[in-house]
Amino acid sequence: MRNSLLTIKLIVCDAGPLIALGKINQLQLLNHLYTEIYVPNVVLEECLVNEMLPGAQAIKIALANKAGTT
């Protein structure tokens, strides 16, 4: 029998992959692959330093949607 604790998948995100996924509108892939997604504040600041850059808007929207569901 499989232990349920072994199925928990946690990721600590870095800015590069987040920005890349945001640019191609694929941030939802993280929700499909991981049960917990942690974005350190310094990483979030780096991703949103210029909200007009490609990917930054997608990250901002994804965070707003996530905040609205909790």
Residue 53 lies in a domain: yes
The CB-based long-range contact list for 49-55 (8 Å cut-off, 24+ gap) reads 53/19, 54/19, 54/22, 54/23, 55/18, 55/19, 55/20, 55/21, 55/22, 55/23
Per-residue model confidence (pLDDT) at position 66: 77
Residue 1 lies in a domain: no
Say how many Å lie between the first and final Cα of the chain, rounded: 31
User: pLDDT-based confidence at 1, cuts 50/70/90?
Assistant: very low
Residue 50 lies in a domain: yes
Residue 5 lies in a domain: no
Report the domain count for the chain.
1
Residue 61 lies in a domain: yes
Print the domain residue range for 20: 10-69
* pLDDT 10s digits, 14-66: 999 999 999 999 999 998 889 899 999 999 999 999 989 889 999 999 888 87
Tell me if the pTM is above 0.75: yes
Residue 29 lies in a domain: yes
